[in-house]
C-alpha cells in the first residue's frame, strides 16, 4: 500500500529571532503523521506568502530562497521514489531518517526471534509454561534450518518475509521435516507471532500472514478410564519420587489443572465455597481466566498428605510438584508398572477430568467448562469426549421414558 505524503513550507512565528526574522520550516506529513524540519532559512514576516508557501517578489533574495525550497521539495519526492523502488517500509520515522541521511539498520528475523524467546524464558511459570518456550525454541531452529535449506542463508531481513516465504516454510515442515499437520501449523503460527510483532512495531509495511490458510485438525485426545485411574491411585511405589508424581497426577485427574497451574498452587488458593466446602480458586496461567473447583475427597486427602512436606512449607506450595520434564518421564515409568498402554503425559490428567471424572458422571458441560477455566464451550468440547457408555446410558433412560409413556397410554385406553 502506497503511503500518502504531503509537503508544506511555513514561517514559524513562535520562533521569531531577536532581529524579527522568522525561520522557514518544512513540514512533511506521512499518512497523517508530521515531520517538522528547519530549512535553515529566515524571512521577514511581511515578505512571506502563506497561501503560496513562498517568499513574495522577484528580488535576488526571493529567487534564492524559493529556489532552495524547490530543491527541498524535489528531495522529498526523490526520497519517496527511492524508498518505493527499494521496497522499503515508508512511515514517518523511516522517511525522516532517509531524508536527513540516517540509514536505518536493516532488521533481521533471527535476532528478533531470539530476543522474543529470551524474554519468554524470563517469564516461565509467570506468564508462560516451560513447554511453550520450548516450542518457540524448536520453531526458531526450524526457521534457521529452512533458511539454510531453501536459500543457503543464515538470516533474512524481515521486510523480505512475504506470503510465498510462509507457504514455502509450511511446505518444508510437511515434507523435509515430515511434521504432521497440527505441528506444522503450530510452528508456522509461532513464526506468525514474531512477524506480527514486527508489523505492530512498524518494521514491516504489511502482515504476510493475512492470507495464509492453515487450520489445526481436531485430534482424539487421550484420557484414562475409571479402571486405569483406580489402578494408579491404589498403586504404592517403593520410590518416594514415583508416589509424589502419582499423587500430583491423580490430584489433577480430579481437579482438571494443567501442569503450570498445579505447579503454582499455594495454600492461599484454597477457599470456602458457596456450599461451605473447600474450593480451589485460581486464574489459569494460559488464558488468565478464573477457575473455581470444588474439592472432591481424593484431592483433599492428597493435599492433607503433603501439608507438612518441606517443599510445601518452605516454598508455600500446595503440592510438591517436580519439573514438567521429570513428571512426564516418571509418569511413563508409572504407566509401565501399572500396565497402562496409553502414552502417559501430565496433560492427560486434564483430559481425564473433563471426560472420565465429570462428563461421564453426568456433570453438565457448562459446569465442566467453568471449572476448566475455558472461555467458550467450544474449547471444552475439544477436551471432553462423551463415551459410548454415557451415550448408551442416556439413550436407555430415554427408551425407558418412551416405554413408560406408551404403557400409560395403553392403560388409559383400557
B/e letters for 115-130, b = 16+ CB within 10 Å, e = fewer, are ebbeebeeeeeeebbb
Phi, psi of 334 (to 5 degrees): -65, -45
Whether residue 329 is contained in a domain is answered as yes
Residue 258 CA to residue 262 CA, distance in Å, equals: 6
Picking from 53, 70, 100, the residue at the C-terminal end of a domain is: 100
Residue 137 CA to residue 135 CA, distance in Å, equals: 5
Residue 139 CA to residue 190 CA, distance in Å, equals: 7
Give the CATH number, domain containing residue 341: 1.10.443.10
Whether residue 219 is contained in a domain is answered as no
Quick: pLDDT tens for 343-359.
Answer: 889 989 999 999 889 98
Whether residue 313 is found in the same domain as residue 278 = yes
Of 373, 230, 251, 229, nearest to 312 by C-alpha is 251
In terms of DSSP H, where are the helices of 159-214?
163-175, 181-200
Q: Is residue 108 within 8 Å of 155, Cβ to Cβ?
A: yes
Whether residue 228 is contained in a domain is answered as no
User: How is residue 346 written as a grid cell?
Assistant: 501430565
Whether residue 258 is found in the same domain as residue 366 = yes
Sheet holding 33-44, edge to edge: 5-11, 21-30, 33-44
Position 305 scores a pLDDT of 95
Whether residue 121 is found in the same domain as residue 77 = no
Whether residue 263 is contained in a domain is answered as yes
User: How is residue 254 written as a grid cell?
Assistant: 480430579
Torsion over CA: 224, 225, 228, 230 (sign): positive
Q: Is residue 36 within 8 Å of 15, Cβ to Cβ?
A: no
Whether residue 361 is contained in a domain is answered as yes
Of 35, 155, 39, nearest to 98 by C-alpha is 35
Whether residue 156 is found in the same domain as residue 244 = no
Whether residue 70 is contained in a domain is answered as yes
Q: With both helix axes pointing from N to C terminus, report the angle between 181-200 and 130-151 in degrees, rounded to the nearest 10.
A: 90
User: How is residue 319 written as a grid cell?
Assistant: 503440592
B/e letters for 261-289, b = 16+ CB within 10 Å, e = fewer, are bbbbbeeebbeeeeeeebbbebebbeeee
Whether residue 297 is found in the same domain as residue 269 = yes
Q: With both helix axes pointing from N to C terminus, report the angle between 130-151 and 109-122 in degrees, rounded to the nearest 10.
A: 170
Whether residue 344 is found in the same domain as residue 255 = yes
Picking from 51, 70, 100, the residue at the C-terminal end of a domain is: 100
One digit per residue, the tens of pLDDT, for the chain of length 414 reads 567 899 999 999 888 888 889 999 999 999 889 999 999 999 999 999 999 999 999 999 999 999 999 999 999 999 999 888 877 778 888 889 888 887 667 789 999 999 999 999 998 877 787 778 999 999 999 999 999 999 999 999 998 899 999 999 999 999 999 999 989 999 999 999 999 999 998 888 788 998 888 776 766 678 899 999 999 999 999 999 999 999 999 999 999 998 988 999 999 999 998 899 999 998 877 777 788 899 999 999 999 999 999 999 999 999 999 988 899 999 999 999 999 988 889 989 999 999 889 988 888 888 988 898 887 887 777 766 666 666 777 788 888 888 887 777 666 665
Quick: pLDDT tens for 64-106.
Answer: 999 999 999 999 999 999 888 877 778 888 889 888 887 667 7
Q: Total structural domains in the chain? A: 4
Q: Is residue 34 within 8 Å of 21, Cβ to Cβ?
A: no
Cα dist from 339 to 247, 330, 335, 342, whole Å: 18, 14, 6, 9
Of 121, 86, 92, nearest to 33 by C-alpha is 92
Of 313, 299, 265, 271, nearest to 285 by C-alpha is 265
Give the CATH number, domain containing residue 155: 1.10.150
Whether residue 186 is found in the same domain as residue 276 = no
Backbone Cα Rg of the chain = 33
Position 212 scores a pLDDT of 87
Whether residue 375 is found in the same domain as residue 284 = yes
Whether residue 10 is found in the same domain as residue 61 = yes
| Domain containing residue 310 | 240-383
Whether residue 205 is contained in a domain is answered as no
Residue with cell 522568522: 22
Whether residue 185 is found in the same domain as residue 275 = no
Residue 407 CA to residue 86 CA, distance in Å, equals: 84
- What is this structure's pTM? 0.56
Whether residue 230 is contained in a domain is answered as no
Whether residue 409 is found in the same domain as residue 357 = no
Whether residue 129 is found in the same domain as residue 29 = no
Residue 346 CA to residue 318 CA, distance in Å, equals: 17
Amino acid at each position: 500500500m502506497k503511503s500518502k505524503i504531503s509537503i508544506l513550507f511555513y514561517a514559524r512565528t513562535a520562533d521569531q529571532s531577536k532581529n524579527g526574522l522568522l525561520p522557514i520550516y518544512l513540514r512533511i506529513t506521512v499518512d497523517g503523521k508530521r515531520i517538522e524540519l528547519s530549512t535553515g532559512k529566515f524571512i521577514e514576516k511581511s515578505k512571506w506568502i502563506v497561501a503560496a508557501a513562498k517568499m513574495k517578489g522577484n528580488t535576488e533574495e526571493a529567487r534564492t530562497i524559493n529556489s532552495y525550497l524547490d530543491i527541498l521539495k524535489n528531495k522529498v519526492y526523490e526520497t519517496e521514489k527511492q524508498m518505493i523502488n527499494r521496497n522499503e517500509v515508508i512511515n514517518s520515522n523511516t522517511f525522516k531518517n532517509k531524508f536527513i541521511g540516517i540509514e536505518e539498520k536493516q532488521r533481521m528475523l533471527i535476532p528478533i526471534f531470539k530476543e522474543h524467546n529470551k524474554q519468554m524464558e524470563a517469564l516461565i511459570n509467570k506468564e508462560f509454561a516451560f513447554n511453550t518456550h520450548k516450542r518457540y525454541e524448536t520453531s526458531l531452529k526450524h526457521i534457521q534450518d529452512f533458511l539454510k535449506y531453501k536459500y543457503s542463508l543464515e538470516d533474512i531481513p524481515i521486510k523480505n518475509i512475504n506470503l510465498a516465504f510462509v507457504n514455502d516454510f509450511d511446505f518444508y515442515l510437511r515434507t523435509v521435516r515430515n511434521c504432521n499437520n497440527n505441528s506444522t501449523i503450530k510452528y508456522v503460527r509461532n513464526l506468525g507471532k514474531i512477524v506480527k510483532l514486527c508489523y505492530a512495531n512498524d518494521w514491516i509495511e504489511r502482515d504476510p500472514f493475512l492470507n495464509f490458510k492453515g487450520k489445526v485438525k481436531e485430534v482424539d485426545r487421550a484420557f484414562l478410564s475409571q479402571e486405569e485411574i483406580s489402578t494408579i491411585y491404589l498403586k504404592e511405589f517403593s520410590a518416594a519420587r514415583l508416589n509424589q508424581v502419582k499423587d500430583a497426577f491423580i490430584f489433577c485427574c480430579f481437579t482438571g489443572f494443567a501442569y503450570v497451574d498445579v505447579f503454582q498452587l499455594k495454600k492461599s488458593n484454597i477457599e470456602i465455597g458457596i456450599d461451605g466446602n473447600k474450593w480451589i480458586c485460581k486464574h489459569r496461567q494460559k488464558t488468565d481466566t478464573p477457575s473455581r473447583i470444588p474439592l472432591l475427597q481424593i484431592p483433599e486427602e492428597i493435599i492433607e498428605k503433603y501439608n507438612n512436606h518441606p517443599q510445601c512449607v518452605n516454598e508455600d506450595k500446595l503440592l510438591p510438584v517436580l519439573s514438567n520434564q521429570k513428571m512426564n518421564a516418571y509418569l511413563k515409568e508409572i504407566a509401565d508398572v501399572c500396565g497402562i498402554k496409553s502414552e502417559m503425559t501430565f496433560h492427560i490428567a486434564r483430559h481425564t477430568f473433563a471426560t472420565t471424572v465429570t462428563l461421564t458422571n453426568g456433570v453438565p458441560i457448562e459446569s465442566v467448562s467453568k471449572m476448566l477455566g475455558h472461555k467458550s464451550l467450544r474449547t471444552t468440547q475439544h477436551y471432553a469426549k462423551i463415551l459410548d457408555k454415557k451415550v448408551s446410558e442416556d439413550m436407555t433412560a430415554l427408551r425407558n421414558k418412551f416405554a413408560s409413556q406408551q404403557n400409560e397410554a395403553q392403560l388409559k385406553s383400557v
